[in-house]
Amino acid sequence: MKLLRYLFYRLLQMFPIALFIVVINFALIHMAPGDVSILLAGEGADPEYMEQVRERYGLNLPLYQQLGAYIGQLLQGDLGLSFRTREPVIGIIAERIPATLLLAGTALVLASVLGVAIGAVMARRPGSALDTAVTTLSISLFSIPVFWLGLMLILLFAVTLRWLPSSGMASIAGPREGIGYALDVARHMVLPVLSLAAIWLGQYVRLSRAAVSETLAEPYVTTARAIGFPERRVMTRFALRNAMLPIVTVLGLELGLLLTGAVLTETVFSWPGLGRLIYEAILSRDTPVIMGAFLIMSFTVMLAALLTDLVYAALDPRVRL
Amino acid sequence: MTPTLTKTLRGTLRSVPGALSLVVLAIITAAALLAPVLGLPDPAEMEFALYQPPSAEHWLGTDNFGRDIFARVVWGARVALMVAIGAALLSILIGSVLGAVAGYFGGWVDGLLSRVFDIFLLIPTFFLILLIVALFGASLPLTIIAIALTTWPRSARLMRSQVLTLKSRVYVQAALAAGAPHWLVILRHVIPNGIAPIITDGTILMGMAILTEAGLSFLGLGDQNLVSWGGMIFEGQRHLRLAPWMSIAPGVALLLLVASLNLLGDSITFAMNPQLRTRGGAPKKRPTVAPPANEPAATTDTPILEVEDLRLVYSVGARRIAAVDGVSFTLRRGEALGIVGESGCGKSSLGSALLQTMPNNAALTGGTIRYDGRAIVLDGKGVVEKGRARIDALRWTRIATIFQSAMNALNPVTTVRRQMTDALRLHRPGITRAEATARIGEVFGLIGIPRSRMNAYPHQLSGGMRQRAMIALSLILEPELVIADEPTTALDMLIQDQILGEIADLRARLNLSLILVSHDMGAVAESCDVVAVMYAGRIVEIAPTRQIFDNPAHPYTRTLIGALPSLTGPLEELESLPATDSAAVAAAQGCRFAHACPAATDLCRAKVPPAVPLGDGHISECHYATSFAAEPREVRA
Amino acid sequence: MRLWTSTILATAVLAPALALAETTLIMPQQDEPRTLTPAPSSDTGGHGPTSNIYSHLVVMDWGIVEGVAAYGDLADSWEVSEDATTYTFHLNTDARWHDGEDVTSEDVKFTYERIMEKGYTFSSFLRDVKSIETPDDDTVVITLNKPNMAFLPMMAQGAQWTGKIYPEHLWADQDGFDTGPYVNEPVGSGPFKFVRWDRGTAVVLEANEDYFRGPPAVDTLIFRTIPDANVARAEFEAGQFPYLPFNYAPPLAEAPIFEADPDINVVYTPSHFSRDLQLNLNHEALGNPKVREAIAYAMDREQMNRLAFNNSWTPGYYAGVSSLQKWINEDARFPEHDAEKAEALLDEAGFPRGEDGWRFSVKVTGPNISDCSAITEILVRQLRDVGIEAELDRFDQSTWFSRIQEKQFDISCYFGRYGPDPDAYREHFSTDGARNFMSYSDAELDQLAAEANTIRDEETRKEMYGRIQEIVVRDMPYINVFEEQKMSLVRPGWTGFAVMPGGFNKSISWFGVYGVSGPDDAE
């Protein structure tokens, strides 16, 4: 019951923030130079037709009325129609989400699991030459521009060695279902996942190295050793378990950052995901798609933050929701 | 500020990555500043053959328009640095001011601003920047402003927390009392003092800004009239197959610059807090030795613990600190030994040496520890028998400890019951769940914890209860020897007394041997048979409790007893103890206590005092031990 | 499954057994169709499938079929009355709808009248239509309000996108062409029949064995949506389809790589789109004709061609593109590059170099398409070389377009069709022309342009348009730079794509694949 109330309260909190984001985006888009109706009417349309188009899309109304109409429509769960393709925005976005989830999710799992493991191992020998080398290397990793790393991987593995495809999510004439399809997608995923994961890996190594070495210095670890627990158990049950707390927090909070990496990677690898959709929508001034995607993304980040807090609470009995 | 600054700088330069990154930064900055006078070709002039690979003439080749890529990379450094400095400065400026205002005024101002900081955390800022730049036209100043506008909450949060700690400071209050207006106080006193961590964070911010600009340029939204590395990669992408060098060089430049900034930030952080780099870690491998050939079998008279000339040295950087410097004592079965001394005297290090749980920067350099007549440590090396350290066989089943501050000594994320069950299972693999629960209940009963609290997490227990749980954990496997390291320090006086009483009681009932480490003579007096007084790494006096209180034969002991706090006496007297720097003292000739001893003579300063036996196991390391012993203690009023 | 290679393999192995192998053709296209009904609005994803399902009355592309005003699809032939107001079309008598019904003149009348009634895009080409009559099943008579020589070529050109003919017997009960069962399950009279539409992936068509020109060589035609150029290129290289259309084309600089590849034929096609510069005459310096002339001298088309287009584009020295070939006045020619002359003209015009070396400053804009980006980037360098402080100021396409419409620019890269009928000069250069972004005005040109459109005599018309070109080149409100060349890639053995020589005639329209045949189709 208490949890439900907490959830309700947290979900309720999201709405003013979402409203804030909608208003900011709306203001930005409408303050900017350029006329969306030209995009809608098509190049070279006569002024009469443009006027018709403005009317049809409500672009002739005063801004506050347009905003009001948009918010009213949002409240009914309708994100409107894309200016460019005239399809429902919600469908366009929904279509792109799985691709981004697949790409970013795989990279995230890979980077976090590997990163936490490497970081934990490094935390066992803090200050050693290996630790310094790995720290320096991981800092260098997350200093690499992700799009550039992607290009270099394409250059090496797709252009020069011809081992892997350089773009897209599946082969055009490949199998459309079953294990064959999965393998085909997997082949296409290797390079984009690798470039995203490499950069995130650096972050998680650093994060985990700091968190684990912090917990290894905690008295309860000394207690565990005095009790005689084998070192591996000390590491997992005591050090890692407690180090997960800061790691989980950062993981959850960085979801937005994650999408940033995704847009650039999706561009390099022509991955049909959400990030690329937003980029294309921004370039083509597809206002409903931009607004809808920002909204969905912000909700995702907010939900991730909520989920993080829930996971944190589950991991740390000291936290009460 | 200045000495800290030089220290930080020196620390940064001493680390290899720190020094390296400063060198790289210096080179890139110099290249950017000197670009116009380096005699390079015009980076925009389309005058050379197209798509030339790197050669002696064009070090990094030429691009699709026949422009010299090396010249473009050098000129691109200007844009990168402009973005880095411009965006970071602007972001820090906005963030510091708003953060300072929020922290300084608190209340609804803080509430509102903190809410705004939070919202910014939830907006995918890169997309916002992308939107702004795409809508309003790509130009460098706009990019810088957009980056600053979306990253300032980072500095604001830092500044806010700085201000929260600063605003109660005396000089801030003094300035306010003197009638200075709020804005002046913020500008003059608050921001300058809180800016240090923000500047460190600035290097990371600069790296972020550079990568953001590069990302924008790569998406075709860079400044069209300037050469930027991201923009070069954007162009290079289209010619990746034909002229890969077009994308390689600017990417490497970006990587070098951003990595240098991040490494620099990292090195500065470590230089400011050196312990961050080396704390924690797994126990390192230590030298071992085989058991001695002819160990006499233990008899009932064999002491449970014998320590001979034990030496423990800490390495801090290049310094060596002898925390335990030749300590010897004997503990008989069922006896309680108190080890007393002020903090830093080496008593806790001694405790960790007995359990072989020393931190990694500590090493035993000599001495022997025998448990029940069998050597655990021989000449400072751990004794290993049949591939297993002898101490490991004794852990918790024979020797257990009670750590200070049970809040941190118990695992915060598992229940007390679980922790005890784990310990039981570890050492008694066959034990059933019911048996374990029964045993835990038994120990809880012994200590006086209600069984209902078994499933509690450590944080759910009161301070006293928690310490009792720690004691219960130490007793769960029925050890013979318990080493209690400041078991009551964090508790209030009343609970301290209770717990000490319970320990004494348990010892009697369970026939435990006990080593009680404490800074508190009073605590030791109540529960121990023998008291050892430690000063600067040595036991300067050891004697049966009565004896040491009645006839203290060392001036340091006398100081301690004189400072003995009673429930009525003033607590502050503890602070009147002369501060000791173990290292300095150990390095000096003569008696370690001479520098602070009211009765020190030239002899004391010149010659190390011998251990003077005074009978009945009373030993004092003082040139004048006999005369002190003859002179009963003055009792303070 | 590699469809087209598998047919090759199948043929190689089974050739003796099977005389005719099934030919499947995958056509990549960037956009998913919005609908499969062509009339209501222009739909880049729909043009491919609908152009092969539906037929047109007449079609035309900008000059690929040289010297004719229009090319008959359903219309076998037509006559134009003396006063150029009455057009009589004779339909092909073999044409059948995919459901077997006869295609009649009533279908044409029905389609055009509904388009006009609903105000669909194609109605702008029918603006001057007074009446449409059907004296018999195979004859359509269109009467105009006033003479308009541009009517036929403009209508024929627009028909490719949104002017296809619908079957009246299926659509009569529907309101408009955007509702009902046939919106996404089209029944046409073209060379291919609709099979299915896998949303998000592909539209599948099959050969119409009863097509009035005879069945196509391709048996199964799949329009596959591939939004990304990199993906399309990779798939083409992997052999998934035999044709990579120019809108996916890699940079021209890579053309030598493809030309060296025996498994790829590189096809260049003039697109009949210009790349030119629009000069805003309201700009303080650009208002001066000498300055505009100086810019024409300062510009070096050869350098641009070498740097940006691998020398494969055609420099544009005349005031028109090659689809207007027979109207071009070769005496009206833009000057060639001469930087010294440019500097002299600028000095003369009263814009000497200042102390900082600059005469005046201009912003060069253009849409964010790769060739305009390259042209503007190089142009900026060339202008700076003669002392004009030029800076880039590019925008995304919609922002750019609204800015030039609002005349917020100095110099802009522009792409224009200027055809297929020279009446386009009126739109671009007459004082109230819809595409006169330059604020150009010349009384003589205004009068000539208005008059020339109504004159049936070709010689007289040609003279008048020749004079218009002289005026334009004299005043230079615009400077032609290039005629665009498209680069497409085709696998050897495949012929008949619209971009290939003769391909357009065979395939009827820009998107048609009727004339396409693969390596294993018997000639």
CA distance A68 to chain B (A): 22
8 A C-beta contact, residue B201 and residue B154:
yes
Contacts of C370 in chain B (CB under 8 A): 238
| Distance, CA of A246 to CA of A212 (rounded, Å) | 10
Find the closest chain A residue to B398 by CA distance: A227
- Asked if residue B290 belongs to a domain, the reply is no
Residues B562 and B505 in one domain: no
Q: Which two tokens stand for residue B448?
A: 């006086």
C253 touches chain B (CB under 8 A): yes
Number of H helices, E strands in chain C: 16, 17
**Segments of C179-282 assigned E as strands:** 192-198, 202-207, 220-225, 243-244, 265-279
Long-range contacts (CB closer than 8 Å, 24 or more residues apart) made by B215-218:
B215/A145, B215/A146, B215/A147, B215/A260, B215/A264, B215/B126, B216/B129, B216/B130, B216/B133, B216/B138, B216/B143, B218/A145, B218/A147, B218/A148, B218/A264, B218/A267
Which of C257, C302, C304, C307 to mutate to probe the B interface, most B CBs <10 Å? C307
Residue type, B633: R
Instruction: Judge if B311 and B184 occupy the same domain.
Output: no
Please name the CATH architecture into which domain C24-227+488-506 falls. Answer: 3-Layer(aba) Sandwich (3.40)
End position of a domain, from candidates A47, A76, A105: A76
Q: Give the domain-ending residue among A19, A53, A76.
A: A76
Across the range B153-165, mean pLDDT stands at: 85
Considering chain C, what percentage of its residues have pLDDT values greater than 90? 59
Q: What angle do CA B344, B348, B354 make, to 5 degrees?
A: 140
Mean pLDDT over C424-443 rounds to 92
Could you give the percent of chain B with pLDDT greater than 90? 33
Rounded CA separation A143/B266 (Å): 13
Is this structure's pTM higher than 0.90? no
Q: Which amino acid is at A214?
A: E
Tokens, residue B587: 């390095």
Confidence bin at B568 (pLDDT 50/70/90): very low
Residue A84 lies in a domain: no
- Alpha carbon dihedral B124, B128, B130, B134, in 10-degree steps, equals 160
B239 vs C contacts (CB less than 8 Å): 251, 253-254
CATH no., domain C273-483? 3.10.105.10
Question: Do residues A272 and A137 share a domain?
Answer: yes
B44/C381 touch (CB, cutoff 8 Å), yes or no: yes
Domain with B69 in it: 3-272
At B231-252, the pLDDT tens digits run: 999 989 888 888 899 999 999 9
Q: Return the pLDDT at B578.
A: 39
- Assess whether B520 and B554 both reside in one domain: no
Residue B461: CATH number of its domain: 3.40.50.300
The residue of chain C nearest to residue A285, with distances taken between CA atoms, is: C398
Judge whether B224 is closer than 8 Å to chain C, CB to CB.
Answer: yes
B291 in a structural domain:
no
Mean pLDDT of chain C: 88
Which of the two residues, C60 and A151, has the higher pLDDT score? A151
From residue A162, alpha-carbon distances to A166, A267, C352 in Å are 9, 20, 57
Reported as a pLDDT band with limits 50, 70 and 90, residue C2 is very low
Q: Which of A3, A4, A2, A43 is nearest to A284 (CA)?
A: A43
Tell me the nearest-neighbour CA distance from B126 into chain C, angstroms: 19
Q: Give pLDDT, residue A39.
A: 66
| pLDDT score of B367 | 92
What integer pLDDT is reported at residue C348 of this predicted model?
A: 95
- Contact call for A228 and B422, based on CB within 8 A: no
User: Are A95 and A237 found together in one domain?
Assistant: yes
- Once rounded to an integer, what is the mean pLDDT over residues B71-86? 95
* Residue C393 touches chain B, beta carbons under 8 Å: yes
Q: What confidence category does residue C520 fall into, taking pLDDT thresholds of 50, 70 and 90?
A: confident
pLDDT tens figures, B176-223: 788 888 888 877 777 777 777 887 788 989 999 999 999 999 988 889
Three-state DSSP state, C197: strand
Cα C390 to chain centroid, rounded: 31
What's the CATH code of the domain at A126?
1.10.3720.10
- State residue C64's pLDDT score: 53
- pLDDT band with cut points at 50, 70 and 90 for residue C464: very high
CA distance C176 to chain B (A): 37
Range of the domain at A1: 1-76
Check residues B241 and C482 and name the one with the higher pLDDT: C482
Query: In chain B, which residue's Cα lies nearest the Cα of C258?
Result: B242
Residue A256: band (very low, low, confident or very high) from pLDDT cuts 50, 70, 90: low
> C: neighbours with 3+ CB pairs under 8 Å?
A, B
In angstroms, the CA C56 to CA C51 distance is 8
- Chain-chain contact of C398 with A285 (C-beta, under 8 angstroms): yes
How confident is the model at residue C14, as a pLDDT? 38
Claim to verify: residue B542 and residue B583 sit in the same structural domain: no
Confidence of residue A180 (pLDDT cuts 50, 70, 90): confident
Does any domain span residue B580? Answer: yes
Name residues whose C-beta falls within 8 Å of residue A96's C-beta, 6 or more positions apart in sequence: A272, A273, A274, A276, A277
Number of compact structural domains in chain A = 2
Check whether B318 has a pLDDT greater than 90. Answer: no
pLDDT tens for each residue of C201-254:
889 999 999 999 999 999 999 999 888 787 888 889 888 899 999 888 787 878
CATH 3.10.105.10-classified regions of chain C: 273-483
Cβ C384 vs Cβ C338: under 8 Å: no
Residues of B within 8 A of C250 (CB-CB) are 238
Say if the Cβ atoms of C434 and A44 lie within 8 Å: yes
Query: Are residue A15 and residue A115 in the same domain, yes or no?
Result: no
Q: Which amino acid is at A60?
A: N
- The reported pLDDT for the residue numbered B565 is 42
Given CB atoms, is C407 within the 8 Å cutoff of chain A? no
What whole-number distance in Å separates Cα of residue C407 and Cα of residue C404?
A: 5
Q: Does C2 touch chain A (CB under 8 A)?
A: yes
pLDDT of residue A53: 73
Contact C393 B44 (CB under 8 A): no
CB–CB of A272 and C228 under 8 A? yes
Substitution target in A38, A85, A172 with the highest count of C β-carbons within 10 Å is: A172
At residue B560, the pLDDT reads 84
Question: Nearest to residue B511, comparing CAs of B356, B251, B333?
Answer: B333
Q: Are residues B391 and B532 in the same domain?
A: yes
Residue A37 domain flag: yes
Q: Provide the greatest CA pair distance for chain C.
A: 84
The answer to whether C397 and C271 are in contact (CB under 8 A) is no
**B residues 241-270 closer than 8 Å to C (CB):** 241-242
Name the token pair of A147: 């799009």
Q: Return the residue of C nearest to A188 by Cα.
A: C231
DSSP code per residue over C327-359: G--TTSBPPPP-HHHHHHHHHHTT----TTS-S
Whether residues B601 and B500 share a domain: the answer is: no
Distance of alpha carbon B327 from alpha carbon B156, whole angstroms: 53
Q: What is the pLDDT of residues C385-406, one digit of tens each?
A: 999 999 998 887 778 888 888 8
pLDDT at A43: 55
With an 8 Å Cβ cutoff, are C398 and A35 in contact? yes
Determine whether B387 is exposed, middle or buried from the number of CB atoms within 10 Å of its CB (0-12, 13-18, 19+): exposed
Question: Which strand (E) or helix (H) includes residue B131?
Answer: helix B125-136
pLDDT tops 70 at residue C297: yes
Q: Which two tokens stand for residue B490?
A: 């964090």
pLDDT, mean over chain B: 85
pLDDT band per the 50, 70, 90 thresholds, residue C50: very high
Residue A147 covered by a domain: yes
One domain, residues A245 and A197: yes
What sign does the CA torsion over B547, B551, B554, B555 have?
Answer: positive
- Asked if residue B403 and residue B419 are part of one domain, the reply reads yes
- Could you give the C-alpha distances from B30 to A133, A316, B24, B41, B253, in angstroms and in order? 27, 50, 10, 18, 14
Say which residue the tokens 């963030």 belong to: B95
Tell how strand C129-136 and strand C139-144 pair up.
antiparallel
Nearest-neighbour CA in chain B from C392: distance (Å) = 6
Comparing alpha-carbon positions, the chain A residue that sits nearest to B426 is A229
Residue B3 predicted with pLDDT over 60: no
Residue B573, pLDDT > 80, answer no
Strands B381-385 and B288-289, by their bridges, are parallel
Quote the DSSP letter at residue B2: H
Indicate whether A44 and A150 sit together in one domain.
no
Q: C155-171 b/e with 16+ CB inside 10 Å = b?
A: bbbbbbbbbbbbbbbbb
Nearest CA in chain A to C224: A172
What's the whole-number mean pLDDT along residues B136-159?
89
Q: What is the pLDDT of residues B471-521, one digit of tens each?
A: 899 999 989 999 998 887 767 778 888 888 888 888 888 889 999 998 888
Q: Which of A52, A76, A100 is the last residue of a domain?
A: A76
**Largest distance between two CA atoms of chain A:** 86
pLDDT of residue C146 exceeding 50, the answer is yes
Is residue C356 predicted with pLDDT exceeding 70? Answer: yes
Residues A299 and A179 in one domain: yes
B378 and B267 housed in the same domain: no
Looking at the predicted structure, is the pLDDT value of residue B584 above 60? Answer: no
Question: What are the backbone angles phi and psi of residue A173, rounded to the nearest 5°?
Answer: -100, 15
B288 lies in some domain:
no
Q: Would you place residue B85 in the very low, low, confident or very high pLDDT band (cuts 50, 70, 90)?
A: very high
Interface check B240 vs C, CB under 8 A: no
Q: A203, exposed or middle or buried, with CB in 10 Å at 0-12, 13-18, 19+?
A: buried
pLDDT at A42 over 70: no
- Hey, which residues 213-272 in chain C have their CB within 8 Å of chain A? 224, 226-231, 234-235, 238, 240-241
Q: How many CB atoms lie within 10 A of CB A233?
A: 15
| Residues A57, A33 within the same domain | yes
CA angle, residues C240, C246, C249, in degrees to nearest 5: 70
Interface confidence: ipTM more than 0.85: yes
Q: Please give the single-letter amino acid code of residue C66.
A: E
Most C CBs within 10 Å, among B42, B64, B65, B221, to test the C interface? B65
Output DSSP code: residue B611: E
**Mean pLDDT, rounded, for C180-192:** 94
Residue owning tokens 């931190």: B359
Find, in chain C, the residue whose alpha carbon is nearest to that of B239.
Answer: C251
Minimal-distance CA residue of chain B relative to A285: B135
- Burial pattern C443-468, b for ≥16 Cβ within 10 A else e, equals eebbebbeebbbeeeeeebbebbbbb
Residues B521 and B562 in one domain: no
CB burial of B456-493 (b: ≥16 within 10 Å; e: otherwise) equals bbbeebebbbbbbbbbbbbbbbebbbbbbbbbbebbee
Q: What's the domain count of chain B?
A: 3
Q: Find chain A residues with C-beta within 8 A of C230's C-beta.
A: 166-168, 270
> How many other β-carbons are positioned within 10 Å of the β-carbon of residue B500?
23
Considering only residues 292 to 351 of chain C, which have any Cβ-Cβ distance to chain B shorter than 8 Å? 303, 306-308
Say yes or no: B413 and B539 in one domain.
yes
Give the confidence band of C17 by pLDDT, cuts at 50, 70, 90.
Answer: very low
Residues of B in contact with A10 (CB under 8 A): none
Give the model's pLDDT for residue B564.
Answer: 46
